Amino acid sequence: MVEFRDLEVLYWIVKLGGFRKAATRLNTTQPAISNRIAQIERQYNISLFERGRRKPVTLTARGLTFFKHAEHMLRLHETLLVSLKGAEALTGTVRLGVSETLVHTWLSELVRDLLQTHPGVGLDISVDISATLQDGLNRGELDLAFMLDGLAPAKAVTMSLCDYPLEWVAAPTLPLDDGLLELRHLAAWPILTYSSRTQPYQQISALFKDPTLGPVRLFGNGSLASIVRLATDGIGIGAIPPVTIRDELASGRLRILNTTVKLPTLRFAASYLDGPGARLAAMVANQAREMAARF
């Protein structure tokens, strides 16, 4: 008799594209996954994957039939549980990757909302840059990622969350002209912004490619909180979404500069891999979209 775990193992090997990724997704080891597949093949005297020079995730004809039935049965099982218990009774942990910008906006409100509406759902939260979150989603280490739009794998379900423009900000103690600032005025100061491995950094760096500006000091930083602190302390000019520094702007510790130099808008999206087991991730993604719209 086919066990439920067998269905999950085969499904996630094919869905994620490898034994190691499936092991990560199912919180086990690659040898355990390989042994499970070998047991299925011995028990039913079939070959699930093409061997030899091809990749191990290439299904045989009978393997493809097994996979289609496995996916169908896993979906039925999930639908049955929800129909018996109700969506509010969903339980489990969602491995969530979050861009730090969103930590400083509505993430706390989302967690508070989830605690009230789905008390059986937990979150294992990782905060990192979008490129790292993309890798985690691809490797099956994350169930859901809130990251910059356009980075999700093609096989992922993606929904827009929010758009946050960047602005040039500085402490009032920084001796800047009160008039309209041009690029050369900004270039005279250290530029404080996101890590050099991010899209915003690359876009901001491109603004200062003019050789007439001389050497420009760009300080990439993986911590938004650190960027804000450095800007508040008057170290340089920050390129920061105003939505993340409402308190600093309201108190006068930072101010938005009047400048001709336009910065890009950060567009965030929620992405998850569809399929059996994705109901929790989809629920959290939809709730995040509603929360972002209200923020």
CATH number of domain containing 285:
3.40.190.10
Contact 159, 284 (CB under 8 A): no
Q: Are residues 254 and 220 in the same domain?
A: yes
- For residue 155, the model assigns a pLDDT of 79
**Residue for token pair 């280490």:** 141
Same domain, 22 and 69: yes
Q: Helices in the chain by DSSP H: which ranges? A: 4-16, 19-25, 30-44, 61-85, 100-103, 107-117, 130-138, 183-187, 199-207, 224-232, 246-251, 279-294
Query: Which positions of the chain have pLDDT values less than 70?
Result: 1, 52-56, 81-82, 85-90
Which of these three, 50, 85, 120, is where a domain ends?
A: 85
d(CA 58, CA 48): 9
Give yes or no: residues 102 and 35 share one domain.
Answer: no
Q: What is the pLDDT of residue 85?
A: 64
Alpha-carbon span 44 to 281, nearest angstrom: 34
On whether both 245 and 184 belong to a single domain, the answer is yes
Distance (Å, whole) CA 193 – CA 207: 13
Q: Positive or negative CA dihedral for 116, 118, 120, 125?
A: negative
Task: Please provide the size of the chain in residues.
Answer: 295
Where a domain ends, among 85, 118, 141?
85
Tell me: do 259 and 272 sit in the same domain: no
What CATH number does residue 66 fall under?
1.10.10.10
CA distances from 201 to 25, 78, 99, 212, 290 (A): 32, 42, 14, 20, 29
Residues 274 and 140 in one domain: yes
Question: Is residue 192 domain-shared with residue 71, that is, in the same domain?
Answer: no
| Per-residue pLDDT at 237 | 97
DSSP one-letter code for 26: T
Q: Are residues 61 and 132 in the same domain?
A: no
Same domain, 117 and 235: no
Give, to the nearest 10 degrees, the angle between helix 4-16 and helix 30-44.
Answer: 120
Which structural domain, as residue segments, surrounds residue 197?
Answer: 167-263
Report residue 77 as tokens.
């099982």
Indicate whether 117 and 66 sit together in one domain: no
* Tokens linked to 64: 């493809």
Q: How many domains does the chain have?
A: 3
Q: Which residue has the tokens 């929360």?
A: 291
pLDDT score at 130: 93
pLDDT, position 183: 94
pLDDT given for residue 275 in this prediction: 75
Are 157 and 271 contained in the same domain? yes
| Same domain assignment for residues 146 and 180 | no
